[in-house]
Chains A and B, each alone.
Chain A
């Protein structure tokens, strides 16, 4: 098979031939040092480690013997920078630039560096191989699993894993059959709503209009969420492949990736992927010689949360102010520039090639009855294993938080988990057995959202948390409709009053009335879901609201205006630890064996003394 002179593949056969030659040219027994170059590990110093490996391999003239691969995020951010030695899959965690020399030597020798291995906190034993780490072991990483085998800037890596085979298969199918396959698989949108993807595709396909647009939503704006960023950074070709398949099924020829500019690495990697795919004939005109054209353009967003909402995103894409409009006419019928438009988020698109390649039946056996496939979650907050995880839908919250997340740090007690981002809800301990899927989370008053999970421990005040999310949404509301703009402002005022000791009888009822109107009358989903954090905390932690309002007491000891610290004279031996810890010089050392004295005037209620005292001599009320 001879490639065309312009380098573009002109048939599925040529793609397969290229794939074979790539696989053949690679020695799978050769050592490869894989290092995560995702944003999380970069923040932890991966850049210096990467540079170190490059230098070391060059200096020792090992470049032909040991390859180096900088990849996207494998998920275990808590332990980054992460290095995996392949083909054995030895995991080194928290690697520093100073460890590079030793790792290269050990790789040459075939030995293992004990001190860089992960220690299982449950057993105290060191774990050598990545797949044995409990964090990974309990996941099903259909999407994320590829990240560590792919340099996102090397299309050959994606092709070696079978990339674009689903596209080749698609091009031999009728477009209706592609939609039928996705429908049978039961793929639901991962962006938040959980709407069946194939139904949306079908509506768009059947909608009147000559031009149909395909959009990938990479505007991920939830605090603490980074699922889509990591997919776009780590495996942009899987997203592109999904988009081309969708475009073929719908009959679209122009696509956009709307990505927030705060995701520079995602922007860069998506751009490189588009160029590479176009060059190879996997994107652009006459894809794989099929006669089907589809091009993708990157549009960078300014980072407004509301621009994740489809109509606001489209307004922003058109160059207008990113404000939503009513969706009485669906965007799949009238969207971007008034044309039928199909929008899915990054993770939804990335699932599509898997469905086409492995078949709907294979896909539909993963997950729960109503929610098929896996879901990626970002696990953040008070959790031991902060990171990105992927599990089949239907697993319990308990399995995620304790099995994969490793539980709560410092032996603290779990209190709640916020799922679904700022407009999701707080789920309490009694619901930890809840299977995590679209419908069950809805029933619990929360939602799947795009997959953020913020874990909270016993030191969290639920009124304060509700205030935090409402304040976030207040700041991100576009301000167009009255209930969202004015309602969130008032909700924030009421919550602030409650946390600062000015709560009144009737505040809870007012919050509930206000919430009902936001739900009923807001223009878009930002407003109509905004009351969720308030309503779920009221539903599950009403007693905390009441304690704040009636007793002027914050049970978790978080709300400063409602907390006082004092010294228990009986218990205080005058050790002076709290004196040193106090940042405002409010505690005076009265000499050995004499209790310290706390000046309430100077106390800023930071709790440093409380945290540092081992004898329970600091009283918090």
Chain B
């Protein structure tokens, strides 16, 4: 594994070739704000909060640190007046989009933004696409996607109808950094609430303790994908050996 040497805020750092500035910073406990990054999925570069200033071959420029790969001799500044001004403006835009969202409000406050100059909308979803990427890359079912273009962009199942491929696993809710997707299990049913629609999934009952423990569709998907015995999930994790 080839290592490269760079500096972040003057601090000398070694990082594996091919990693991004953001990853290198995180490994060295240097804080760069971000909302759309998750180590399990492909970097996307949507929120732009992780913008940093780099100097390469004597040239300064701003880049998204979640996408820019480390290189020998790279100088990175993670916070400057220009960066801070931009991050504040981005937070103002986000705060106007999601004024009632706690996670957004908390981050805004952390970055020194307590109000926005723009008219208030009322969304929870900030369109970071983490849910979509997890559904596609980690779960492998692509039940949800970002639909429409520009200001009409929305996170949804195809045609806003019930998805026939969603397995109800809830990974989208788990990964959402602003809790815009929620799910709850009530009795024998799992309810998933997306920003634009909701779905219900029947839960599997444990043959031993009688507890409802996971969506049947999810268990079927795992059995099929891994090639397990059809009875593999007859019992809940607690009752299994």
Contact = CB atoms under 8 A, between A and B. Distances in A.
B118 interface: yes
B153 A479 contact: yes
Interface string B139-152: 00000001011111
21 contacts: A325-B45, A326-B67, A328-B67, A474-B150, A474-B151, A479-B150, A479-B152, A480-B44, A481-B45, A482-B46, A482-B48, A482-B90, A483-B93, A486-B94, A488-B151, A489-B151, A490-B96, A513-B89, A517-B89, A522-B48, A523-B64
Contacts of A128: none
A238 interface: no
Contacts of A486: 93-94, 96-97
B151 A482 contact: no
Contacts of B152: 479
Given A486-B96, A520-B51, A520-B82, A326 B45 contact: yes
Interface in B66-124: 67-69, 82, 85-86, 89-90, 93-94, 96-97, 117-119
Size category of the B interface is: 20 to 34
Nearest to B94: A482
Interface in A503-517: 510, 513-514, 516-517
B96 A304 contact: no
B90 A485 contact: no
B132 to A, nearest CB: 11
Contact of B86 (A326, A328, A489, A520): A520
B150 A521 contact: no
Given A490-B93, A517-B90, A485 B153 contact: yes
Contacts of B118: 490, 493
B239 interface: no
B149 A477 contact: yes
B81 to A, nearest CB: 12
Contacts, number: 97
A479 B90 contact: no
B228 interface: no
List of 4 A-B pairs having minimum Cβ-Cβ separation, nearest first: A479-B153, A517-B89, A477-B150, A486-B93
Interface of A: 304, 325-326, 328, 474-483, 485-490, 493, 510, 513-514, 516-517, 520-523
A476 B93 CA distance: 19
A488 B152 CA distance: 12
B151 A481 contact: no
Given A482-B90, A483-B93, A486-B96, A520 B46 contact: no
A480 B146 CA distance: 9
Contact of A481 (B48, B82, B117): B48
Given A328-B63, A481-B46, A521 B93 contact: no
Interface of B: 44-48, 51, 62-64, 67-69, 82, 85-86, 89-90, 93-94, 96-97, 117-119, 126-127, 129, 146, 148-153
Contact of A480 (B46, B96, B126, B151): B46
Contacts of A523: 45-46, 48, 64
A510 B149 CA distance: 25
Contact of B151 (A325, A483, A485, A521): A485
A216 B225 CA distance: 42
Nearest to B43: A326
A510 B64 CA distance: 24
Contact of B127 (A474, A485, A513): A485
Given A326-B64, A483-B93, A490-B93, A478 B149 contact: yes
Nearest to B63: A328
B117 A510 contact: yes
B120 to A, nearest CB: 11
Contact of B62 (A325, A490, A520): A520
B94 A514 contact: no
Given A485-B127, A486-B94, A487-B93, A517 B86 contact: yes
Contacts of B148: 479
Contact of B119 (A481, A482, A493, A517): A493
